[in-house]
Amino acid sequence: MNYADYEYYTDTYKGAVLDTASFERYARNATVYMKMLTFNRVDDSNIPDEVKMCCCEVAEKNYEADKSRHVGISSEKVGDYSVTYENNANIDMKLAKDCNEVIQKWLLMTGLLYRGYY
């Protein structure tokens, strides 16, 4: 079960980047990653809005990273035409950094990221 559904993505999060099929795939990946970082502490029967919003934003970050993989261009210059391509390792590192920042932004104050003992 994904932390957020497409209806929440479009109505509450106000996302417009992903279509229904794409959202399901990327939300599933975001949910799995978030479960790993939160030690599966989210109660699936009562998912907080912070978790749903975080799932939507992480799903969009994953989509953007996949899109960059296909294009592969990190910078382009017009005068004396020049193109710089980005490799997948750099894209993966940036994605991990971006997703971790998003997760911290939404979940840091919820206690879900706590790594100590209760």
Between 82 and 44, the higher pLDDT residue: 44
Total domains, the chain: 1
Token digits of residue 45: 């029967």
Residue 71 has what pLDDT? 63
Assigned domain for 19 exists: yes
Assigned domain for 117 exists: no
In which band, very low, low, confident or very high, does the pLDDT at 80 lie, cut at 50, 70 and 90?
confident
Q: What is the 3-state secondary structure (H, E, C) of 29-96?
A: HHHHHHHHHCCCCCCCCCCCHHHHHHHHHHHHHHHHHHHHHHHCEEEEECCCCEEEECCHHHHHHHHH
Residue 108 has what pLDDT? 95
Assigned domain for 72 exists: yes
Q: How does pLDDT run across 38-76, given as a tens digit for each residue? A: 999 999 999 999 999 999 999 999 999 988 776 666 667
Assigned domain for 42 exists: yes
By residue range, what is the domain housing residue 24? 6-110
Rounded to a whole number of angstroms, the distance between the first and last alpha carbons of the chain is: 27
Assigned domain for 116 exists: no
pLDDT at 22 over 90: yes
CA angle 51–93–64, rounded 5-degree value: 60
Assigned domain for 16 exists: yes
